[in-house]
Structure 1
Amino acid sequence: MTKFCANLTWLFTELPLLERFAAAKEAGFDGVEVQFPYDVNAQDVVNQLSRHDLKMVSINCPPPNYAGGEPGWAAVPDLQDRFQRDFNRAVRYAKTLGAEHLHIMSGQAQGHHAKKVYIENLRWAAAQAPKQSLTIEPINHGDMPGYFMNDFDLAAETIKTVDAPNLRLQFDAYHAAKITGDVMAAWDRMREHTVHVQVAQTPDRTEPDKGEIDYPAFFAQLDADGYKGWVSGEYGPSKTTQDGLAWIS
């Protein structure tokens, strides 16, 4: 049975962040994720999770001081010290929140040297936080030009090369559609590596209901394949969040 969670960076944005937890629970979600919660006192977030019996499923890393700037540093040459410093801060924050997954963003880079730096940083991170589930996620170039981790073959190769039990894939069906044109085929190739799934419809990244991706079929395939992780709604609501939640039923 699919477990749905709400990405509170994208959903219920008509409310201040700390009020979105109650709204998510009232809407029927048992888990939430927040891309960059670092500007909020961690204990305030913990209190909301506890009060509403919610699981923090995932947060992004690095950097804790992200404010619309560079999307991470993991593959960026000459920024390994910054990556390590920000990673350690992010792990402490994730531990306080009880975050199940910590998504490591590659940043904007290209070439062989960037790939080497990326592998080294991921190996270091996996060893540095062996009890923390870490994820990587291919993001399409249209949404994030120049982003290093932009391909599922690269993701599979990276996971196999790093060869750490706590490094797996965050499979975003919206990005899979944009990158490959075939979500079901991408899932079939990547399911063995996947610990977390995110969904949105194409082409406009709205509710995962009617549109180019057959989500009833995709959810049925997740169940058939025995996927036990969370499925997160990471999309921009067409109207209000509450008006567009029929997809979870």
Structure 2
Amino acid sequence: MKTDNDEGALVLFSGGQDSAVCLAWALARFGRVETVGFDYGQRHRAELDVRRDVRNGVAVAMPEGERRLGEDHMVDLGVLGEISETALTRESGIALRDDGLPTTFVPGRNLIFFSFAAAVAYRRDLRRIVGGMCETDYSGYPDCRDDTIKAMQLALNLGMDRRFVLETPLMWLTKAGTWRLAEDLGGRMLVEVVRERTLSCYLGDAETRHDWGMGCGGCPACDLRRRGYREYRGAADRA
């Protein structure tokens, strides 16, 4: 796989499945990769507790991963949680709102994430910013759409007078496709890191284990992950 050792990348890294695969994708392409996480008082904050273990596991699973992986940055965005009335920042039920969006939608979250990530990337002289946004198997969040990311890239480049590139390698993949990408990048070793160590559950259940990983098994994030993994395994078994 072609690698551009002259460029560095910053990966938005939560400790979940998608960000772990994005980290592997970046390590396969760029000579220097750093990560940034955001603590916004999320209900599923347990994912932040697994970040270090997942980060190390991905680096070990990838060729030259440990050499290419650089610093980790954590940004306190507690104010976002304070102003948000959502099922990800409050103890409230997960359901669909009248406008069709799920109550887990945190308005402006990804826009804020990219703004702060770009500020870190500016300081660290990193041009590529990698996020796990997806418009295929997702919950309908408008800030995950490809058009939103393209508009955000333009705004950041104009506002900071830089040539950032916002990379979204999962944008057009199903969840099964994300599992397959993990295998393509790092083989079964990376798939097992994602399955055993990452946490994507909206309720932050890091105790209950399933064949597809940890999680409550009932929230939309767990449902997407379960269906994707079983589709991926079914295709592998038929091959």
- Structure ranking higher on relative contact order (CA contacts 8 Å, 6+ apart): 2
TM-score after normalising by structure 1: 0.32
TM-score after normalising by structure 2: 0.33
